[in-house]
Amino acid sequence: MAPSSYTRLVLAERPTGLITESTFRKEVVPYDLKADNKQVIVQVDYVSLDPGSRIWLDEATTYVEPVQIGETMRLFAIGTVVEAGEGSGFRAGDLVSGLLGWTEYVVIDGGSVAKVKVPEGATFVDFLGPLGHTGLTAYFGLLEVGKLQPGEKLLVSAATGSIVCQIAKSRGAKVYAIAGTPEKCAWLENDLGVDKALNYKSPTFQEDFINSVDRFDVFFDNVGGEILDFALTRLNVNARVVLCGALSEYNARRSMGLTNYIKLLEQRAKIEGFIVSDYTEQFPEVLEYLSRLLLSGSLKRNYHIVEGLEQAPKAFNLLFSGHNTGKLLAKVLRRKNNNLRLLAFLISQPMCLGSFMAHYFEC
């Protein structure tokens, strides 16, 4: 029993700074989706709100094509296959992750989504957290780009993305985190075991930094701007600066630039950007490693979940005001007829019912 219509959020106009009420348009469209032999139809369960995707809304091509006006907002999401082409490699009831977008339903090539098998100790939403692009980004940035060694001093900005701090602790590094509220700093120190968390909004931030961190070996930078510029003055010899993100710049029309870059030369240091999708071939083995960390209790995670797809645009700016308190997600709420459709499928496939229900209600 298919629904008669479904909701999606499309880009209505390009923002010039933070997104506004007119950036996205809600569309309720007839459910006329068809999957060909290699495609699947996915009912989306949770969508991720990722700050880096803000630059996909600008006209210029970055490392991906921009989202076009009228196109469904492209973002990572997890969902359930409700219909599968015979050559897609999937069956109805499979849990999947991928760039499904801000929509209740999507037709997508089977080759563009990953099958999710929720391991012991994890939940389905973890595939947008430590077992998704967030965890993979932390791992590759820290170890492949930053080449963090045991005993080294690591600095992490926008440390709400706490996975980096925890992988580093599990590998014997000394971890210094930067966050924007005393509550976030306390959580990083007390719950995650970070050696010292520093509030970058404190008037004594630079002084506190020099007194506690002094100099560091690896900087996992999510912010750019003034924090990065200051950090360049505190490099150890042969330090590595990992450019993971630039939260302070995504909404700006012009970059503030770096005034202290000469310190890289003086300290024989490196600065290197990366995009997690460069490491796709290594994803399966790293996901196994991250699952083991999760199961051992070494990876705590925190989600900030807003209820309803329609809330996603408004919630997006929390990422830039600092008002999200964990990995920001929107839960797609089920309408009555959609639930009936899923139920009809599950009753027709009792083999899938047990494992599906277990995963579904864990979230």
Ligand X SMILES: NC(=O)c1ccc[n+]([C@@H]2O[C@H](COP(=O)([O-])OP(=O)(O)OC[C@H]3O[C@@H](n4cnc5c(N)ncnc54)[C@H](OP(=O)(O)O)[C@@H]3O)[C@@H](O)[C@H]2O)c1
The residues that touch ligand X, with contacts defined as CB under 6 A, are 50-52, 133-134, 137, 158, 160-161, 179-181, 184, 200, 222-223, 244-245, 247-248, 274-276, 319-320, 322, 324, 327-328
Which residue's entry shows tokens 């520093």? 198
End-to-end CA distance of the chain: 25
Give the closest residue to 191 by CA, choosing from 51, 49, 326, 287. Answer: 326
Which is nearer to ligand X, 43 or 137 (by Cβ)?
Answer: 137
Which is nearer to ligand X, 39 or 134 (by Cβ)?
Answer: 134
Which is nearer to ligand X, 71 or 278 (by Cβ)?
Answer: 278
Which is nearer to ligand X, 49 or 342 (by Cβ)?
Answer: 49
Whole-number Å distance between alpha carbons of 126 and 136: 12
Which is nearer to ligand X, 7 or 137 (by Cβ)?
Answer: 137
Question: Nearest distance from residue 180's CB to ligand X, in Å?
Answer: 3
Whole-number Å distance between alpha carbons of 157 and 185: 12
Question: Nearest distance from residue 241's CB to ligand X, in Å?
Answer: 13
Question: Nearest distance from residue 338's CB to ligand X, in Å?
Answer: 28
The full DSSP string for 266-286 is HTT-EEEE--GGGGGGGHHHH
Query: Is the distance from CB of 326 to CB of 303 less than 8 angstroms?
Result: yes
Which is nearer to ligand X, 8 or 327 (by Cβ)?
Answer: 327
Whole-number Å distance between alpha carbons of 116 and 195: 34
Position of minimal CB gap to ligand X: 245
Give the SS3 label for residue 320: helix
Question: Nearest distance from residue 41's CB to ligand X, in Å?
Answer: 27
Question: Nearest distance from residue 263's CB to ligand X, in Å?
Answer: 20
Which residue's entry shows tokens 């229900």? 357
Whole-number Å distance between alpha carbons of 97 and 47: 10
